Amino acid sequence: MADPTSSSLFDTPRIWNAAPTEAFAAWLVSDAFAVNRRGERQQLRDSSVRVYRAMFSKFAREVLVPEDGRPPKQLPAVSADDIRRFLDTNALTKGIRHRYIKLLERTFDHLASIGMMEANPARGLAIRQPTRSGAGNEKTMWLSQAQQDAVLAALPSGEGWKAQRSRAMIAAVLGGGLKVSEVIRLPINSVGARQEDGSLLLDVYPAGAGRMHRTRVSAQVAGILAQWRATREGLPLPGKLLFPAGPTGGGLHPATVYRQVKAVLAEAGIPEDLVKRRGARTLRNSFAIRQLETGAAPALVGEYLGHRADRSTRYYTDLLPKNRKG
């Protein structure tokens, strides 16, 4: 069997034209791709490999073999207009759009290096292409203390177990600073004991680029989470997920979490013109800002958030003076 990283699979125009997704997959795990800006070998995480492969496969399906009546084309014939059409049709968020452009820039640079094309059609799109709103970077969103209190008052209050689950899940994100990818994977045994100050420790397992860490769920919502754990342990549902999607015990879809958070923000009366981003990320940002406002050390806040690098936490500390002024 041929070595999947063999250069013959990704460094000739013939392979890229005949089987672009296979050539990309081989290039992705080769030494030629995983090199940082200093020219050093850098091993990609398995999660990154999966994401990049999915991104390029989607691009290849929609651009090289379009379903809107346009004729199929090969990579050397792809233009900047083709890339813009792909990005606009999929209505990507600014972050995902930028990630796509950088990946395509790198891919077409490689194709140019093997003599497959003269110009890079993705080059410069990240600079010239505006955001979907037509404005510059949207500001990072977080809730004021009053808005946060309003959200907690608006949490689902039904008697059914799904309403109780959603109540505890949103409370855990707001009170513990969790990502969506983390909260939907929490096992039942991740919920620790209540602390003397009323808070609650929560073990958070790796998800995507994250790492194993422990956060402290604020005393304001710890009771909600502790009560839900007791309820969940008594439910005749299979699996070990703390927040199952339904009777089969399967995991929640991230889109479901987004819809539920959006609904709670609306129920709380949080104006959309003030808080434009209506997903769980805004709740995570609120947790980070609140911790720093109350004097928690940045290193501790970084641990609660599961940051791998100090610069990720400094992003929030840089925002804090602005928050105090306004």
Q: Is the pLDDT of residue 151 over 50?
A: yes
How much is the pLDDT for 168?
Answer: 97
pLDDT at 319: 83
Smallest Cα–Cα separation from 251: which of 182, 157, 161, 168? 182
DSSP state letters, 38-100: TS-B-PPPHHHHHHHHHHHHHHIIIIIS-SSSPPP--GGG--HHHHHHHHHHTT--HHHHHHH
3-state class (DSSP) for residue 243: coil
Q: Is the pLDDT of residue 2 over 80?
A: no
Q: Nearest Cα to 316, choosing from 286, 280, 288, 287?
A: 288
Residues linked to residue 6 through DSSP beta bridges, in sequence order: none
Of 204, 222, 229, 225, which Cα lies nearest the Cα of 214? 204
Which residue has better confidence, 41 or 110?
Answer: 110
Q: Which residue has the tokens 């981003």?
A: 277
pLDDT digits (tens, 9 = 90+) for 253-267: 988 999 999 999 999
Percent of the chain with pLDDT over 90: 48
Contact 179, 207 (CB under 8 A): yes
Rounded average pLDDT over 70-85: 88
Identify whether the C-beta of residue 195 lies closer than 8 Å to the C-beta of residue 201: yes
The pLDDT-based confidence of 28 (bands split at 50, 70, 90) is: confident
Of 28-37, 110-119, 193-202, the range with the highest mean pLDDT is 193-202
- Contact of 92 with 100, CB cutoff 8 Å: yes
| 81's tokens | 């207009």
Domain spans of the chain, in order of start = 7-128, 145-325
- Of 47, 42, 49, the C-alpha closest to 26 is 49
What's the confidence (pLDDT) of residue 273? 84
Q: Among 11-25, 204-218, 236-250, which is the least confidently predicted range?
A: 204-218
Q: State the Cα–Cα distance between residues 115 and 313, nearest whole angstrom.
A: 43
Going by C-beta distance under 8 Å and a sequence separation of 6 or more, which residues neighbour residue 318? none
Counts for the chain of helices (H) and strands (E), in that order: 14, 3
Which residues lie closer than 8 Å to 201 by C-beta, 6 or more apart?
192, 193, 195, 214, 215, 216, 217
Using pLDDT thresholds of 50, 70 and 90, give the confidence band for residue 119.
confident
pLDDT for position 215: 96
Kindly report, residue by residue over 5-26, the tens digit of the pLDDT: 444 556 788 889 888 999 999 8
The pLDDT, as a whole number, for residue 210 is 61
Whether pLDDT at 324 is above 70:
no
Given a cut of 50, whether residue 34 has pLDDT beyond it is yes
How does DSSP classify residue 30? Answer: S
- Which CATH homologous superfamily contains domain 145-325? Intergrase catalytic core (1.10.443.10)
What's the CA gap between 46 and 84, in Å, rounded? 28
Cα–Cα dist 210/308, whole Å: 7
Domain at 7-128, CATH from 3.40.50, 1.10.1070, 1.10.150, 1.10.3210: 1.10.150
Sheet holding 200-204, edge to edge: 191-194, 200-204, 213-217
User: Tokens 């997903």 sit at which residue?
Assistant: 279
Domains 7-128 and 145-325 fall in the same CATH topology = no
Query: Does residue 136 have a pLDDT over 50?
Result: no
State residue 241's pLDDT score.
96
Better-predicted residue by pLDDT, 206 or 98:
98
- Whats the size of the chain, residue-wise? 326
Q: Please tell me the predicted confidence (pLDDT) of residue 129.
A: 40
Contact 289, 320 (CB under 8 A): yes
- Residue 54 has what pLDDT? 93
Within 10 A of 180 (CB to CB), how many other CB atoms are there? 23
What digits encode the pLDDT tens for the residues 37-77?
A: 455 566 778 888 899 999 999 999 999 987 767 788 899 99
